[in-house]
Chain A
Amino acid sequence: MYVAVKGGEAAILATHDLVAEARRGNEAVPELTVAQIREQQGLACARVMNEGSLYDLDLAALALKQAQGDAIEAAFLMRAYRTTLPRFGSSEPIDTAQMAIRRRISATYKDLPGGQVLGPTYDYTHRLFDFALMDEADGSAGEARPAATALDAAMPRVPDILGAEGLMEAETPPQGDPRPFDLTREPVSFPADRDVRLQAMARGDEGFLLGLGYSVQRGYGGNHPFVGEIRVGEVCVEFVPEELGFSVDLGEITLTECQMVNQFQGSKDVAPQFTRGYGLSFGHSERKAMSMSLVDRALKCREFGEAANYPAQLDEFVLYHSDNVEAAGFVEHLKLPHYVDFQGELELIRRITREREQRLAREQGTLPEAAE
């Protein structure tokens, strides 16, 4: 085919039709509804909301439907939509201590006020196929019975318990408690502050953060953390409209919060204490929140005067490479035409080869004379 040929436009339009056909699959099989995805693929929706930086279950479900279940493509749809939304203000800080708990576990205490609440989790399942699910007709769910007693109203966060004893690194807002940085509106500069790092990780790729968190555990960063607490549940989002001057409840969102407890030997000025790794994510997404809290602690190395030798400790490395929409864009741009650059390389390598052969031929031609 000649590049001079016209027709790229028609071919591109045809790809749109083909992908729509591929998305629908066999038309003899009923089409998925957005509500089905929202209700039955909730963990996938949570991932799309996290990496798409937008809390909207219906849109996440729609994105998954449109993207044939491709999480990164779905997150991309969410972000491209989110970027067009007007920003009418910032909510009040949410209070996870007031969370309506669905699940709350601590690995540091056998029992604690509020107790261990296991909630819905795959943790204790055996990964054996449930072939009954193959049967579409079997729509009945296992019936969860309400417990005899309600959960305790007070469910203190584990790091707060440690903090009351003075053993946990205190979280103090920066001077003046400014509004957190928004990396979707402003360019990031380095070294990046913690609000920037946490925002970047909250929307970062779960797989990338999982790998980095794992690397920290295996020795590329050298922290030995304990899960102080993981909690999953609903919190209220409140907003103070300027014209009203008091807060209005906008609704509730499901969150997963993970606080890791790490050792710290202390320094000349600071007594030994535990340090915190923090992870917060939309929906039920424990793996994401745990990975984030591992990397959060690793990235705090500068604050504690620790050496920063490993990828998980380098803010530029983590922030630039954890964004999967950007990463996918740049990796996949290699599919774009590069004829012009490649031609430049071809011209160079052919010329160097030619010149080298000429030089070798010349040298061979002169050798006998040199021997004489």
Chain B
Amino acid sequence: MNAHQTLPADDAKPAYNYAYLDEQTKRMIRRALLKAVAVPGYQVPFGSREMPLARGWGTGGIQVTAAIIGPDDTLKVIDQGADDTTNAVSIRRFFERTADARTTEATEEATIIQTRHRIPEAPLKAGQIMVYQVPTPEPLRRLEPREAETRKMHAWAEYGLMQVKLYENIARFGEVTTTYDYPVMVNGRYVMAPSPIPKFDNPKMHMSPALQLFGAGREKRIYALPPHTSVKSLDFDDHPFRVQSWNEPCGLCGATDSYLDEVITDDKGGRMFVCSDSHHCETRREAGHRGAMLADASALHLVEEVKP
């Protein structure tokens, strides 16, 4: 995690610093990260920089990764759980280009995992760092649009409004209808937005041995969960928190305990469910697990079938 200044090789353009950001900016971000780790769940304002990728497309996560990455790191970038979704490809290429980064798709090999909308299915280990891209860091924003007000609400731990919102959900629909970015209570103190991961992933945050960092570039906020921090999804005693479940397993690898994406296969209502974590799915297929639709998909060369 130590930063070295290098010049990009055979590049005629003006030389950018290692990992794009200048060292002063990296230090500024690291100071914000340290504060965020010291006060879990608290949103630390930081001097978010204009990045060469669009605001709202992961610039917060990119700045956090740029501030912590070093030549010894191995980076994995996922979007929607997959390594080859458009934006994940773009961000991975950014770090390959600017930081000469060693990249991987294997969750267990990565020292830094930058993510949008998912936590990998494979359990995280001590020493790994999750970097979340955050669009709206303020969990109370939909309830109170003014920043000056929401900061006061956090300072006073005044979260009644959120409880009322969840209660009204239950009163109207019989359950809390938030399916992603489901608010959590961190370390018994701050209500925090877990970023738009499905609530399926919320329990993975609780007491995770990995360091979890959150960067919101457009909104200029950083927050963090140090390893082994309590993260509780908000609920009521008589309406306990529950996660999504599916009636069928992954069509490719047969997994029954992973988060599934729905893929429309024809215009006659045909559909299949596949793991959103593409690496998890591949690993299982390599280990010989076969889903009901793997043979079809393989025949169409839509996936490469690994012969056991």
- Residues in A lying within 8 Å of B, measured CB to CB: 1-9, 11-12, 76, 79-80, 82-84, 86, 184-191, 316, 325-326, 328-333, 336-341, 343-348, 352, 355
| Residues in B neighbouring A191, C-beta threshold 8 A | 148
| Residue from the list A7, A11, A84, A332 in contact with B22, Cβ < 8 A | A84
Most buried by B among A7, A79, A347, A352: A347
Given contacts A4-B302, A325-B54, A340-B196, 8 further A-B contacts (CB under 8 A): A3-B278, A184-B49, A329-B56, A330-B218, A341-B117, A344-B179, A347-B245, A348-B179
**B52 contacts A by Cβ under 8 Å:** yes
A333 and chain B: residue at smallest CB distance: B56
**Chief secondary structure at chain A's binding surface:** helix
Contacts known (A2-B302, A352-B173); A333 close to B90, Cβ less than 8 A: no
The CA of A3 and the CA of B88, in the complex, are separated in Å by 14
- Complex: chain B residue closest to A191, CB-CB: B148
The complex places the Cα of A179 from the Cα of B265 at a distance, in Å, of: 61
Task: Enumerate chain B residues within 8 angstroms of A348, measured Cβ to Cβ.
Answer: 177, 179, 244
Tell me whether A8 and B85 are in contact in the complex, defined as CB-CB below 8 angstroms, given that A187-B48, A326-B55, A340-B118 are known contacts.
Answer: yes
Q: Are B56 and A337 in contact (CB under 8 A)?
A: no
Neighbouring B residues of A352 by C-beta, 8 Å: 173-175, 177
| CA gap between A1 and B180 in the complex, in Å | 25
Residues of B within 8 A of A (CB): 14, 16-17, 20, 22, 45-52, 54-57, 59, 79-82, 84-90, 93, 116-118, 135, 145-148, 173-175, 177, 179-181, 196-200, 218, 220-221, 244-246, 252, 259-263, 274, 276, 278, 281, 297, 302-303
Could you tell me if A80 and B297 are in contact, using CB atoms closer than 8 angstroms? no
Contact B86 A344 (CB under 8 A): no
B276 touches A340 (CB 8 A): yes
* B45/A187 in contact, CB under 8 A: yes
Q: Do A7 and B84 contact each other (CB < 8 Å), given the known contacts A341-B179, A343-B198, A344-B200? A: yes
Closest chain A CB from B91 CB (angstroms): 11
B80 and A76 form a contact (CB under 8 A)? no
> When chains A and B are docked, how far (Å) is the Cα of A11 from the Cα of B135?
26
> In whole angstroms, how far apart are the Cα atoms of A2 and B297 in the complex?
8
| B57 closest partner in A (C-beta) | A333
Most buried by B among A79, A188, A190, A333: A333
Chain B residue nearest to A2 in the complex (CB): B302
Residue ID in chain A nearest B46 by CB atoms: A187
Taking a contact as CB atoms closer than 8 A, the residue among B47, B87, B244 that contacts A336 in the complex is: B87
